[in-house]
Amino acid sequence: MSGDLSPVDDPVAGPFFAGILEGRFTAQRCNSCEALRWPPLSGCPDCHSRSTTWVEVAPTGTIWSFVVYHRAFQASLKEEIPYTVAMVELDDGPYVVGRLVPGDKPPAVGDRVVAELGEFGGVPSVRWRTA
């Protein structure tokens, strides 16, 4: 995947992608109120501080929900269907969405997952594997 679906040029989210390439799964933490946030934002929506540190978060969580795509809505996804996307509630709090790698049995809401870091389809990101 690339082109229209690639977010790596986003200046706000850039440090996340750089972190992935260094093997670190990171999220923003507000330097003022210490709230962890995902997706990245240029300022804290709680206290409005713009001072942020990218901190490592535990790469573990539970499946909040998931969907299985049987239709490719972009040409670049055609070879990948059927594919599964999961919304994961991290143990550290934020919700992070990503591709779910199929395990031995069908996924279920509440399944424990672990993040695998890497470049997937040309985009540095996480994908989820059932623990």
Question: Is residue 130 a contact partner of residue 111, using CB atoms and an 8 Å limit?
Answer: yes
Size of the site for another protein (CB under 8 A): 41
Using the 8-state DSSP alphabet, how is residue 25 labeled?
-
The three-state secondary structure class of 39 is coil
Contact with another protein (CB under 8 A): which of 14, 24, 32, 39? 39
The three-state secondary structure class of 17 is helix
Question: How far apart are the C-alpha atoms of 80 and 76, rounded to whole Å?
Answer: 8
Nearer to another protein, 61 or 98 (CB): 98
Question: How far apart are the C-alpha atoms of 49 and 88, rounded to whole Å?
Answer: 27
108 binds another protein (CB under 8 A): yes
Nearer to another protein, 60 or 89 (CB): 89
Taking the complex as a whole, how short is the minimal distance between the CB of residue 104 and another protein, in angstroms?
Answer: 19
Residues at the interface with another protein (CB under 8 A)? 1, 4-7, 10, 13, 16, 37-39, 41, 45, 64-71, 73-74, 77, 80, 83, 85, 87, 95-99, 108-110, 120-121, 123, 125, 127
